[in-house]
Amino acid sequence: MMEHGKLWAVVLILGSAWAVSGQEQGPAPRVVTIPPEQGPAPRMLRAKLKTPEELAQAIDRHLEAHWKANNVTPAPLADDAELNRRLHLDLLGQIPAIGDVRTFLNDKDPAKRDRQITELFKRPGFLSHYGTVLRQTWLPQATDNQEFQFLSPQFETWIRKKLKSDTPTDQIVREMLTAPTLFNGRRNNFNGNPEDTPFAFNQVNEFKPENVASMASRLFMGVKIECAQCHNHPFAPYKKEQFWELAAFFAEVQPTIANVSDVKVKREIKIPETTKVIQAKFFDGKDPTWDAAKSPRQTFADWLTAKDNPYFARNFANRLWAYFFGVGLIDPIDEPSDENPPAIPALLEELTQAFIDNGYDQKFLMRAIVRSKAYQLTSRQTHPSQADPRFFARMTIKGLSGEQLFDSLSQATGYVDNTPREQRPFGGTRRDFVIKFSSTEKITEKQKSILQALTMMNGRFVIDQTSTKGVFLVGIVDSPLWTPREKLDMLFLATLSRFPTRPEAERFGSYVEQGGVDVDPDKALADVFWALLNSSEFSLNH
């Protein structure tokens, strides 16, 4: 695989080549960033932003200034259908049902976008989907490694409970970083209900202080320091000792140390295969003030989630931005360095401060981001200056997770999984499909494999659902009320969540009317349905 820079170069080249004709291509633009103090309003003087709407407007101001400073022409706003599909995939993890599409498109209220956003956050599907998203982020091992897959359901259940009760994010993270470590043996024999705790976090990290510390640093500080585990970091100023100072806070996740009564032992760690013992120390170089009533992990978690911590809120705000745009304001999201400055520093500051001011409420930031103009831009490229995704001048195109793809296929085809609920984590159509289509790549660079394409083209699931006897399709072909063109509309609405364009209506409409190769309009509809489900527009979030 090419390095990220080169990958983007490919896109940029293709992007410009494919851009709307007639546009002059200038020399490669130099990115101009506006320092935070010269931003629309200095942070210290600014009043707290109390509503998502206010924050959305602030986001818009920052981006407009950034586009202007860099001569970027942003793409126009997405139309209702495009935005509605995107909101459903991002917030509920699946495309909208036909009814949802129609209702939204027919709604004449100018405030309908805001209303729809408010509505979607209240649906049970939001907790379900966003719980999966956080699990995918926090427990990537359970996606990759079959050994840990069984831990996903209970961890997701725990997260959903936290989200449902609106537990502030700092509290959720504190609970994760101080999760139980005591086990009889290393597997399932947990004392208590595993769904009540995030113990799986320690388990997927194999109860190793260095693994837990790497993940804690990466996920919650946005600092990837695992290279420093073995040697001083070659490109960033992290020393090997710094890594082990951090790992020392987590010494007690090791079952053998957890039971040691000497508190000092829990505050230090021996670097493996050396005799060196390292004392716990904060990442900013300060020595902790120990409190006998607090475990070292609690001490670390308190430091991390303090309001003046320079990493926690900033990283979380950046991750939320990256969730919706596929690209962070700092990107890669966990490699802060002089070579990787924020694309729009003032915007990142704004989001960070709003996150802190509003009690570390993820949903507050999410509600604001999806209301922003940047989020609501079309994903079509209408000007070459939009090619670089770091300008956020058109919506980035994201791959779907295995879960999103399967749930969208089910939504489009009316498929109902008959596997009993309690067995679903361990088998059944959805799980098999999800495993085949899951990966932990960056969503803007998600690649498809030959086997995945074959499964979509020839696999039993799609073939059955696109036969004229398929659950959804049978209702369409058998309907006496609709004309062939109306039936075609239904297929587009079910899959791409939009009506066909005029050229599409011509091309596919006449195909259906003529009945395709077998001169059978029903079979021709099935052909169109198959092509829609296999299309790249269907399998991407745009």
Partner 1 sequence: MKPNNLSRRDWMSVAAGLGLSMSGWLPKLAAETAADPQRKRSCILLWMNGGPSTIDMWDLKPGHANGGPFKEIATAAPGLKFGEHLPKLARHAKDIAVVRSMSTKEGDHARATYYLRTGNLPQGALQFPSIGSLLSKELGNPASELPNFVSVSPFRFFSQGAFGPGFLGPNHAPLIVGEGNFGAPAAGDASDRLLKVQDLARPKEVSDAQADSRFGLLRDLDSEFGADHPNLTHLSHRSAYDRAVMLMQSVGARAFDLQEESVRVRDAYGRNIFGQGCLLARRLVERGVPFVEVNLGGWDTHQNNFDALQRLNGILDSGWSQLMTDLSVRGLLESTTIVWMGEFGRTPRINQGKGRDHYPNAWSAVLAGGGIKGGQAFGKTTDDGTKVQGDATSVPDLLATLCKALGIDHLKTNNSNVGRPIRIVDKSAKVIKDVVA
Where in 281-340 is the site for partner 1 (CB under 8 A)? Answer: 332, 335
Interface with partner 1, residue 20, by CB under 8 A: yes
Among 45, 450, 481, 519, binds partner 1 (CB under 8 A): 450
Interface with partner 1, residue 517, by CB under 8 A: yes
User: Please, are residues 434 and 403 in contact by the beta-carbon 8 Å criterion?
Assistant: yes
Interface with partner 1, residue 382, by CB under 8 A: yes
Q: For partner 1, what does the binding mask look like between residues 429 and 448, x meaning CB under 8 A?
A: ----------xxx--xxxxx
Interface with partner 1, residue 383, by CB under 8 A: no
Integer Cα distance of 431 and 492 in angstroms: 27
User: Please, are residues 80 and 111 in contact by the beta-carbon 8 Å criterion?
Assistant: no
Interface with partner 1, residue 376, by CB under 8 A: no
Q: Tell me the three state secondary structure of residue 375.
A: coil
Interface with partner 1, residue 535, by CB under 8 A: yes
Q: Tell me the three state secondary structure of residue 268.
A: strand
Q: Measured from the CB of residue 53, what is the shortest distance to partner 1 in angstroms?
A: 30
Residues whose CB falls within 8 Å of the CB of residue 301, separated by 6 or more in sequence, listed in order: 173, 174, 177, 178
Interface with partner 1, residue 144, by CB under 8 A: yes
Scan for tokens 């200095």, then name that residue: 42
Residues whose CB falls within 8 Å of the CB of residue 156, separated by 6 or more in sequence, listed in order: 131, 132, 135
Q: Measured from the CB of residue 246, what is the shortest distance to partner 1 in angstroms?
A: 13
Q: Measured from the CB of residue 11, what is the shortest distance to partner 1 in angstroms?
A: 5
Q: For partner 1, what does the binding mask look like between residues 244 and 283, x meaning CB under 8 A?
A: ----------------------------------------
Integer Cα distance of 350 and 56 in angstroms: 11
> Looking at beta carbons only, is 381 or 385 nearer to partner 1?
381
Cis peptide bond N-terminal to 420, omega within 30: no
Among 102, 161, 373, 523, binds partner 1 (CB under 8 A): 523
Stretch that binds partner 1, among 110-118, 119-127, 262-270, 524-532 (CB under 8 A): 524-532
Determine what percent of the chain falls in helix, strand and coil, rounding each to the nearest 5: 55, 5, 40
The pair of structure tokens assigned to 346 is 């003032």
Q: For partner 1, what does the binding mask look like between residues 177 and 196, x meaning CB under 8 A?
A: --------------------
Stretch that binds partner 1, among 249-257, 293-301, 423-431, 458-466 (CB under 8 A): 458-466
Scan for tokens 């449902």, then name that residue: 164
Among 77, 265, 454, 471, binds partner 1 (CB under 8 A): 454
Q: What is the 3-state secondary structure (H, E, C) of 387-440?
A: CCHHHCCCCCCEECCHHHHHHHHHHHHCCCCCCCHHHCCCCCHHHHHHHHHCCC
Q: Measured from the CB of residue 268, what is the shortest distance to partner 1 in angstroms?
A: 21
Interface with partner 1, residue 105, by CB under 8 A: no
Interface with partner 1, residue 77, by CB under 8 A: no
Scan for tokens 């537990």, then name that residue: 167
> Looking at beta carbons only, is 366 or 525 nearer to partner 1?
525
Q: Measured from the CB of residue 434, what is the shortest distance to partner 1 in angstroms?
A: 13
The one-character DSSP state at 217 is I
> Looking at beta carbons only, is 315 or 539 nearer to partner 1?
539
User: Please, are residues 281 and 273 in contact by the beta-carbon 8 Å criterion?
Assistant: no
User: Please, are residues 202 and 212 in contact by the beta-carbon 8 Å criterion?
Assistant: yes
Stretch that binds partner 1, among 98-106, 154-162, 341-349, 501-509 (CB under 8 A): 501-509
Stretch that binds partner 1, among 50-58, 98-106, 178-186, 523-531 (CB under 8 A): 523-531
* Cα 131 off chain centre by: 11
Q: Please, what sign has the CA dihedral across residues 421, 125, 205, 322?
A: positive
> Looking at beta carbons only, is 49 or 477 nearer to partner 1?
477
H or E, element range at 540: strand 540-541
Interface with partner 1, residue 109, by CB under 8 A: no
Stretch that binds partner 1, among 82-90, 118-126, 421-429, 505-513 (CB under 8 A): 505-513
User: Please, are residues 524 and 453 in contact by the beta-carbon 8 Å criterion?
Assistant: no
